[in-house]
């Protein structure tokens, strides 16, 4: 594996010889975005990449939203303003999408 600087020049990512799985830097924001993507998938907002089809699983969507809420509660006082804002905005957006589907 070789280190490669990204366009900004300040973050290092790992890539294998075939350029197969370039993983993003492990950050709180990346983790929150991953959970958000999962919730959007379960809300039917994002298609399955292998089939191109969407489906809804509101139980799993709610579970992921509840997980974000738990992280919000457990990280109080430990996040910088950017992380806190990201988490709160994502939670609000996902909750509104969930409520609109529950009607």
Whole-number pLDDT of residue 24: 79
16-74: per-residue pLDDT in tens? 556 678 887 899 999 999 999 999 999 999 999 999 999 999 999 999 999 999 999 99
Whole-number pLDDT of residue 9: 45
In the chain, where the domains are located: 25-102
In our burial notation (b when 16+ CB lie closer than 10 A, e otherwise), range 49-85 reads: eeeeeeeeeeeebbebbeebeebbeeeeeebeeeebe
pTM, full prediction: 0.77
Give 2's strand partners.
15
Whole-number pLDDT of residue 19: 64
Residue 33 three-state SS = helix
Residue 12 scores a pLDDT above 50: no
């Amino acid at each position: 594996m070789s280190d490669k600087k990204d366009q900004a020049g300040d973050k290092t990512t790992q890539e294998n010889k075939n350029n197969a799985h370039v993983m993003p830097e492990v950050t709180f924001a990346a983790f929150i975005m991953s959970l958000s993507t999962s919730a959007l998938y379960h809300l039917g907002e994002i298609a399955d990449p292998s089939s191109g089809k969407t489906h809804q699983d509101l139980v799993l969507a709610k579970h992921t939203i509840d997980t974000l809420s738990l992280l919000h509660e457990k990280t109080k006082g430990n996040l910088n303003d950017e992380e806190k804002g990201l988490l709160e905005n994502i939670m609000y957006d996902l909750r509104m999408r969930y409520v609109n589907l529950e009607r």
